[in-house]
């Protein structure tokens, strides 16, 4: 099993544990698109308490990657993803966080 496959399997287990109801193929595709950041302990995790990180997600992922217009719905979706992953959860994996955002905006066709 490759390192990517190991990461994806871990993310799928984590999604099930958190009750996120995410498609395993979507998790796999989003994780694959994240590239080397999956293997950096700091980059692999999203910090919902870090406003600058959330702004970066909004700009680089939601606006640039998913092609969404910059409006209040982006902030709402980011907060919703933070809540879905659990406020006490210290391991908000970026692959799962992004998969939640993809699902929220109905952009699965970009990955599947």
Domain of 100, CATH number, reads 1.10.238.120
Nearest in space to 38 (alpha carbons), one of 17, 9, 63, 62: 9
Provide the pLDDT for residue 15: 96
What is the domain extent for residue 99?
3-110
Give the per-residue pLDDT at 109. Answer: 94
The average pLDDT across 13-24 equals 95
Band of residue 88 on the pLDDT scale cut at 50, 70, 90 = confident
Q: What is the DSSP string of 75-106?
A: HHHHHHHHHHH-TT-S--BHHHHHHHHHHHTT
Distances (CA, A) of 13 to 66, 67, 88: 25, 29, 18
Mean pLDDT of 19-23: 94
pLDDT band per the 50, 70, 90 thresholds, residue 112:
confident
Q: What is the pLDDT of residues 41-79, one digit of tens each?
A: 889 999 999 999 999 999 999 999 999 998 889 999 999
CA distance 44 to 18: 17
Tell me the three state secondary structure of residue 28. helix
The total number of structural domains in the chain stands at 1
């Amino acid at each position: 099993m490759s390192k990517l496959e190991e990461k994806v399997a871990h993310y799928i287990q984590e999604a099930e544990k958190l009750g996120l109801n995410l498609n395993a193929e979507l998790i796999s595709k989003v994780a694959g698109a994240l590239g080397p950041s999956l293997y950096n302990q700091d980059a692999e995790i999203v910090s919902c308490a870090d406003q600058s990180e959330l702004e970066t997600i909004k700009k680089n992922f939601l606006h640039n990657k998913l092609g969404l217009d910059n409006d209040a719905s982006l902030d709402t979706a980011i907060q919703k993803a933070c809540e879905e992953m659990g406020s006490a959860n210290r391991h908000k994996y970026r692959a799962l966080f992004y998969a939640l955002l993809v699902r929220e905006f109905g952009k699965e066709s970009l990955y599947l």
